[in-house]
Amino acid sequence: MANARAQRWAGIALVALAALSWSTAGLFPRVVSTDVFTTLFWRSTLGGLSVLAAQALLNKRHDLSSLWRLSWPEVWMSLASSGAMVCFIAAFFFAPVADVVFIYSAFPIMTLLLSALLLGTVVQRLDLWCTATVVLGMALIVQGQSSLHSALGAALSLVATLLFALITIGIKRHPGAEMVKVTYVGAFVAALAMAPFTTFQGTRTLDLLWLWLYGVLNVGVGFGLYLLGVRRIKAVLASLVCMLEIPLAPLWVYAFFGEAVSQQSLVGGAVIVLAVLVNVLSAGRSGAPVNANPASPG
């Protein structure tokens, strides 16, 4: 009994640390002076390498070529992961961090809807109410954008959220797919896509150090901590702990750069988070499957 309790608290701590790591996703684009393409290239390359290294060391595979053999589901999920990473990180260059994260917080509801459309899962009346509430919250955030520039950031966040929801559907449909492999392959695909637009000359050493930290901390460390933690706790609890990322992300940029959250975005974000919390807690009580966010963009 004591061992089970210790495992539970260890799982909560590990997932909380993963959420803390992911919450810095919007901070690094404000720290570096590199453009969006250069930032995405180095973040994807270094993040992918850190996950690949962890996979090779932890699994101790004798056949290293197996690290690159992908099934067809892993191929399309890697491509979707690549697109989601690019859209999510690029969104921080156009819109306030709070708006990007608030929209992404609708991930469980989007996954629920796509499950109903693509897998034929049953949607309860409460799910529909939560969905309508999330749409209202998103409408408030988008309607409150000050320019087309920031509206583009909100749109990119929405696309990233949809792509990550599709990946989660893929995991349900193909449970044998290796998500670690999908993560590092997706990162390398994103890096290749950004390479032709990347500025390699003139990038400051300090920027490279920040970008290295961005890739390793935000992708490698966050993903590793999450995988270790989610094995020890129930999915509904992991989903709730992951929501720590939502208030922390705008808090970082406010503390270091004074980036405030507009009142309308705050209201819209609160509406979305409340709807998601109600939906996750309801699913947990009813015993329905809960998405523990295995495809976080952080």
Give the pLDDT confidence score for residue 196 in this predicted structure.
94
Give the pLDDT confidence score for residue 12 in this predicted structure.
85
The residue extents of the domains of the chain are 11-286
Q: Which of 4-18, 142-156, 168-182, 225-239 has the lowest mean pLDDT?
A: 225-239
Burial tier of 199 (Cβ tally within 10 Å: 0-12, 13-18, 19+): exposed
Give the pLDDT confidence score for residue 197 in this predicted structure.
93
Angle between helices 235-242 and 2-22 (to 10 degrees): 40
CB neighbour list of residue 93: distance below 8 Å, 6 or more residues apart: 29, 36, 39, 153
- State the pTM of this model: 0.84
Is a pLDDT exceeding 70 seen at residue 19? yes
pLDDT tens string 58-113:
666 566 677 778 889 899 999 999 999 999 999 999 988 988 988 888 888 888 88
pLDDT tens string 217-229:
887 788 778 877 8
Nearest to 229 by CA among 185, 294, 289: 294
Give the pLDDT confidence score for residue 287 in this predicted structure.
57
Report the pLDDT averaged over residues 151-160: 91
User: Contact at 8 Å (CB) between 103 and 161?
Assistant: yes
Give the pLDDT confidence score for residue 227 in this predicted structure.
75
Residue that wins the pLDDT comparison between 123 and 254: 254
Distance CA(164)–CA(242), nearest Å, equals 15
* Percentage with pLDDT > 90 across the chain: 21
Is a pLDDT exceeding 90 seen at residue 35? yes
Is a pLDDT exceeding 70 seen at residue 1? no
